[in-house]
Structure 1
């Protein structure tokens, strides 16, 4: 059950199932009377809730002092009237001013706390944001692009469209798309400031000035509804612990009749010859390791189900194998070595894996590199590409 009040350009909503009151958009009333309906929703939420009421301001673009004082007064009055009730304000580093604003309430009333949501929502974020991983990310894109440049038109990519690349990382995919397909506009959004800084530098060095690299939270984007013909989100649903939340946002910003394109992996299907048994064992363990940190690198074949459940129709799905035969085998070997450094390094250590496990785990990566570089060898990394249309 939920209650929603919408008054352009903002809305207030209460979801009784999650005990969450949400504010989004621009709230700048001249008087409290203008937001009376939203204040009423908050008061109704307080009456319904026991324990903790979450106040979600992750998509709050602006709030003036009139609005803040009105909502704050309701919260503080409720704390004084109800000893059983706590409030948790959930914000994001993307809208850091809300953290500063609402922490003022915590200084007045200890039962109002503020949580910056990013680190909790992205439990594995630090593993994939290390700047030392950037050269390998570029190599990975170079290897997958050989396949995706022919796949993308089948999924709706064409010249002249308005496109968003969500979780764009270091921005190289957006640059390749710009050169190959010439969209009229590309917004490339990511949550890593380091990656975006790199992306802007690279775009400038290649003389590409019209990609809009944007800092943002993919699960609570400050982007308007129904504005993009084509939305991409590559290798990203699999590293978030709530991919359905991201898909909901991708659906929201996509135009009716537009398409959302996603790529994801199934790591346990990475393969190699010779030494296939050792390689297979290690990548089965990679999948288990990611699962420990609430990430699903087996998501690839599940893409169709996720897209259908998110409301998309006309689902298209295909898979391709990136191999050591796609260009220089050393590129693939370098990628595998980088995987080993992260997976068998920081991740496995943080999980607390014993030395005997680590030795066998690393051996599988070494054997995969051996297969990639062997003159008669074969090494593969499978990827699923899928897209869905937002119904007109």
Structure 2
């Protein structure tokens, strides 16, 4: 298992710019509301808890958590994108929620108090961490003893993106977005290496639908534009074109009557920090 993903010094800026552009349409994606619901379910929220939402985006997870923990509890929600946070602020205001603090910043470099939170939640953002193993260790430090972390990562299969990742791997290009935590065993190792006990890895079918072949092939451009796939975008043009052509050939070979079935599975990972503090 790789300790961390390969760091791109421009990744943070690429990520912020990408999600700034997507802010007004982000909530139209059918998968994100489902993921937020499942993460909330596994996080075991209750009134009075303190919650950190990493990569809050438009605030869907933070708002849901704020309602469940009530005014006795509190939510800190962090995101790189100012435009996504604009949407989150608006929604919180519309619902008169006053127990949320929104922070624009990098969750991998921000300084927060050790042992400050009962729960740390992260929806659709764990795989965007430049150093995911280090991030998990930091989250462990930020949690109170017995605190719970819940996050998601692409499972198997991950729709058309699985074919892209497999094709790239055949050219020696590993895409951590697709392979970081795609199995239960990898999820367990990530948690245990960061000081967590694994409570559960829930494999959730987020979407299953039949696509026409042209729409399936168009996933390529969307994926390469996503910051999580930045390793593809950085390849020399000829190498990227070879991978694209092979991807298209594989999709055409797999199609039936010019259609392709896409199944998207997400792993929702829940871990717990030991309730016993070790004195060093």
State the TM-score, normalizing by the size of structure 2: 0.71
Aligned to 1:284: 166
- Out of 292, 297, 306, the residue aligned to residue 178 of structure 2 is 297
CA contact (8 A) 1:286 1:343 kept: no
Mark the runs of 5 or more structure 2 residues left unpaired by the alignment. 1-6, 276-280
Larger Rg: 1
Q: CA deviation at 1:306?
A: 1.0
| 1:247-290 superposed Cα distances (whole Å, 9 cap, x missing partner) | 12111111111111121114x62247xxxxxx753242367899
CA RMSD, 1 decimal: 4.0
Structure 2 residue aligned with 1:226: 115
Distance in 2, Cα, partners of 1:132 & 1:280? 25
> Higher relative contact order at CA 8 Å, sep ≥6: structure 1 or structure 2?
2
Gaps of 5+ in 1: 1-119, 273-278
> Which of 21, 27, 33 is the equivalent residue of 1:132?
21
**After the TM superposition, which residues 3-42 of structure 1 pair with which residues of structure 2 at under 5 Å, given as runs?**
none
User: Among 226, 246, 268, which residue is 1:385 paired with?
Assistant: 268
Question: What secondary structure does 2:130 align onto?
Answer: coil
Residue 127 of structure 1 and its aligned partner are, at CA, apart by 4.3
Deviations 1:152-210 (A, max 9, x none): 33442234321110122332222233346647211101233343233323433454443
Q: Which residue of 1 aligns with 2:195?
A: 311
Given the alignment of the two structures, is residue 167 of structure 1 paired with residue 51 of structure 2, yes or no? no
> Are the aligned partners of 2:143 and 2:273 in contact in 1 as well (CA < 8 Å)?
yes
Report how far residue 214 of structure 1 moved: 0.8
Deviation sequence 1:83-104 (CA, Å, 0-9, x none)? xxxxxxxxxxxxxxxxxxxxxx
State the alpha-carbon separation in 1 of the partners of residues 67 and 253 from structure 2: 37
* Residue number in structure 2 paired with 1:178: 66
**For residues 257 and 220 of structure 1, what CA distance do their matches in structure 2 show?**
24
Q: How does 1:238-253 map to 2 (within 5 A)?
A: 238-253=127-142
CA–CA separation in structure 2 for the residues paired with 1:313 and 1:306: 10
* Residue 340 (str. 1) matches residue 221 (str. 2): yes
The alignment's TM-score, normalised by the length of structure 1, stands at 0.53
- Matches of 2:60 and 2:126 in 1, distance apart? 18
| Contact preservation (8 Å) 1:225, 1:254 | yes
Distance 2:207 2:237 in 1: 29
1:9-48 deviations in whole A, cap 9, x for unaligned?
Answer: xxxxxxxxxxxxxxxxxxxxxxxxxxxxxxxxxxxxxxxx
**Distance of aligned partners of 1:248 and 1:281 in 2 relative to their CA distance in 1, 3 Å threshold:** closer
Distance 1:324 1:253 in 2: 37
Q: Deviations over 1:91-130 (max 9, x none)?
A: xxxxxxxxxxxxxxxxxxxxxxxxxxxxx66553344431
Q: How many residue pairs get matched?
A: 255
- Judging changes above 3 Å, is the alpha-carbon distance between structure 1 residues 281 and 324 closer, same or farther for their aligned structure 2 residues? closer
